[in-house]
Amino acid sequence: MSFTATVKNEISLLEFSRSENIAELSAFLRGNSKISNGLIELTTENAKVAKRLYLMFKSLYGLDLKIEQKKLANFSTKKIYTIEITKRLEEIVNDLSILDKNNEFIENPKEYIIDSQEEKKAYLRGSFLSKGSINDPKTSQYHLEFGFENKHEAVFVQRLLNEFDMNSKIIIRDTKYMVYIKEAEKISDFLKIINAFQAVLYYENIRIYKEQKNNTNRLNNCEQANMDKIIETCNNQLKEIDIIDKEMGLELLDEKLKEACLYRRKYRESSLTELSEIISLETNSKITKSGLNHRFRKIKEIAERLDTNKKKHKA
């Protein structure tokens, strides 16, 4: 079962007030219904959503409707559930702010549909049940979207979402207007808005796990980069020591530089911090990382000078 279906199943079992049910139905009809002379037809691929619609119409309008189940064409295993309404149509479309008294489509629902914060949440819940989908947080990207054929509905839903600070955007994909959210925290907030709290727990657990894993990977990458840098530094110092040993001999260096060379050869993969601690411990003479680094800078200068003179003599 997809994560979208899981979320829709969860919120399909919830109960709300009459005004919230009106707002939810208004959104669903606007997103996913056909209204013609004497008929309202609702469709959904989710059995629990179909049952929710049936119960809401029965509660609000006393209608005992029939849910028909059909298979989609082209050998698909998916099923589609259809509800047809042929009674009290005028009352329903007026109540839900779909058509006006002249049977003209109302571009945006009237204010009473979304008069309170809870009714706005209910409208968004209905839009999600009708046209929404959400990626499972286990996938590579976070994504929530609504796909509308009607531009006015897309803009209206985007406006409602952004009243809750969802930072939603609209793009046109094929012939549809897609309202989408890509921020993980905002998607989690949306699930809270529509009261899908079990989905929130699942979503947050996966999101936190992924963030911790990413943080661990970043730390590991950082540690690896540091190790690579340490190894490169050690190798360069060993090359410089070899040049001095070959061209003049280490015994000609002063005691402090000779000491640094001998310990570097003995502890070839130690960082400057580790090497300074080793020297301090074994010689009983304190030397800091900065002091040791100063010695290796002098060693580098001597090696570069010797190498340059060698090349001049060869030329």
Shared domain for 31 and 108, answered yes or no, is yes
Residue 215 lies in a domain: no
Residue 59 lies in a domain: yes
Please, what is the angle between helix 255-266 and helix 272-283, to 10°? 110
The pLDDT of residue 11 is 95
Selection from 203, 162, 204 nearest residue 181 by Cα: 162
CA-to-CA dists, residue 225 to 1, 198, 231, 233, angstroms: 42, 41, 10, 12
Shared domain for 35 and 168, answered yes or no, is yes
Shared domain for 95 and 244, answered yes or no, is no
Backbone φ/ψ region at 89: left (φ over 0), alpha (ψ -120 to 50), beta: alpha
The pLDDT of residue 315 is 61
SS3 sequence of 56-123: HHHHHHCCCCCEEEEECCCCCCCEEEEEEECCCHHHHHHHCCCECCCCCECCCCCHHHHCCHHHHHHH
Shared domain for 161 and 17, answered yes or no, is yes
Shared domain for 253 and 176, answered yes or no, is no
Residue 300 lies in a domain: yes
Compute mean pLDDT per 10 residues along the chain, 315 residues long, and list them.
93 94 94 86 93 94 88 70 90 89 84 94 96 90 92 94 95 92 94 95 89 79 82 90 89 90 89 90 90 92 87 71
Q: Domain holding 21: CATH number?
A: 3.10.28.10
* Residues of the domain holding 288: 226-309
